[in-house]
Amino acid sequence: MHKDSIRERFIGLDRINHLAACSKSPMLKTVKNALEDYINDVINLGNPWDLWTDKVNYARRLFAKIINADPGDVAVLYSVSSALNAIMSSFNFKNNNIVTSDLEFPTTNFILQAYKKYGIKIKTIKNDNGIIKSSNYNEYIDENTIMVTAVHVSSLNGFKQDIDEISKMAHEHGSYIYVDDYQSLGSLKIDVKKSKIDFLASGTLKWLLGVSGIAFLYVNPEIVNDLRPANIGWFSQKYPFQFGSESINYAHGAGRFENGTWSIPSVYAAIGGMECILDYNDIEGENKRLFSYTLDELDKNNIKTLTPEQSANIVAIPLKNPQEAESILKRKYNIITSARSNSLRISPHFYNTFEEIEAAVKIIKNEFL
């Protein structure tokens, strides 16, 4: 697909240089139309539950296709936070520990810490200059480790982990592996079956080109029947309309991890975003080219980054005041970036051009360095 054809699918790329897919993707025309369709359906149909259920299941199928899963192994939730809480509520914490790292998105660390009141121990691997060696996990995992968390790409600096290797280590110790793929899914390929992932969660706000309010959770079908989540809702049940129930009767497969009524507008939007991702044959290849070009342009202009060699998607540029730089770039130059901690992040996606990257790098050098 030609670059011009890709860009025509989005609103505003003719006037806005959007380099912040790691925070929020630009608006697809199909996503805008989908949100308008939702409004029209409510106005004209009132409460079209059958239609909504069909759309939820279609979104489930699209997500499953992206990660090479079966639709029945995917739960539809509201956020990665709701997904991880559902997972955590299914464990017996007696004498167990969870291994995580300080490069996870903060959601993961906050939620894990909250469960310490039930007796679980949290073991946090500290990064070394923005990276974590896969071998570090082996030093922390033991026979009492119930789960290992391994973010695919860190939103802090773009560091990319070897999920296959970490998964192998976790399973050798009898532990589950949980992957937060929000910072890369839709940009990098992942195969949950090949990588032997037990849990994978992601939302559509970023690289999947949708909106907030929806996330998906993959659960390995080989373990799902052994798990009894407590953080649930009526859609987690085989008979969701059963009033006065005095027992739990879980829905089939990953559905047992679902909560209450879905965010239907977000489902409409998610479909438009994921259809676009699946339409394009080589997003990962295109994004690698854009990512490498960004690093080359920064190096050519003697601009240092915090992004390590083993990385993808996100380039982190250390600045004295990245939040102010983000605001100036947006307000003065119509360039969308994303500040995080002590750095300004540039994250091109397949719709971006080399010229847009060159323009942003030049302004960053002249204005802030």
Q: Is the domain of 268 the same as that of 325?
A: no
Q: Is the domain of 253 the same as that of 126?
A: yes
Confidence label for 190 from pLDDT (cuts 50, 70 and 90): very high
Q: Is the domain of 201 the same as that of 298?
A: no
Determine the average pLDDT of the residues in 168-176.
97
Confidence label for 179 from pLDDT (cuts 50, 70 and 90): very high
Over the stretch 233-285, which tens digit does the pLDDT of each residue have? 999 999 999 999 999 999 999 999 999 999 999 999 999 999 999 999 899 99
Structural domains counted in the chain = 2
Token pair of 48 as six digits: 């079209």
At residue 348, the pLDDT reads 97
Determine the average pLDDT of the residues in 210-217.
98
Over the stretch 107-166, which tens digit does the pLDDT of each residue have? 999 999 999 999 999 999 999 999 999 999 999 999 999 999 999 999 999 999 999 999
Q: Is the domain of 175 the same as that of 84?
A: yes
Confidence label for 315 from pLDDT (cuts 50, 70 and 90): very high
- pLDDT of residue 361 exceeding 80, the answer is yes
Q: Write down which residue in 230, 258, 278 finishes a domain.
A: 278
- pLDDT of residue 328 exceeding 90, the answer is yes
CATH assignment at residue 66? 3.40.640.10
| DSSP result, 103-172 | TS-HHHHHHHHHGGGGT-EEEEEPPBTTB--HHHHHHH--TTEEEEE--SB-TTT-BB--HHHHHHHHHH
- pLDDT of residue 215 exceeding 90, the answer is yes
Determine the average pLDDT of the residues in 296-318.
96
| DSSP result, 206-265 | STT---SS-EEEEE-TTTGGG---SS--GGGBSSTT-TT--S--BPSGGGGG--SS--HH
What residue type is 203 in one-letter code? G
Q: Is the domain of 141 the same as that of 154?
A: yes
At residue 92, the pLDDT reads 87
Q: Is the domain of 189 the same as that of 254?
A: yes
At residue 1, the pLDDT reads 65
Residues in Cβ contact with 325 at an 8 Å cutoff, skipping those fewer than 6 apart: 319, 337, 339, 344, 364, 367, 368
Q: Is the domain of 150 the same as that of 206?
A: yes
Q: Is the domain of 118 the same as that of 165?
A: yes
Q: Write down which residue in 278, 296, 321 finishes a domain.
A: 278
At residue 21, the pLDDT reads 97
At residue 281, the pLDDT reads 86
Confidence label for 94 from pLDDT (cuts 50, 70 and 90): confident
Confidence label for 95 from pLDDT (cuts 50, 70 and 90): confident
Q: Write down which residue in 259, 278, 297 finishes a domain.
A: 278
Mean pLDDT of the chain: 96
- What is the extent of the structural domain holding 288? 3-26+282-368
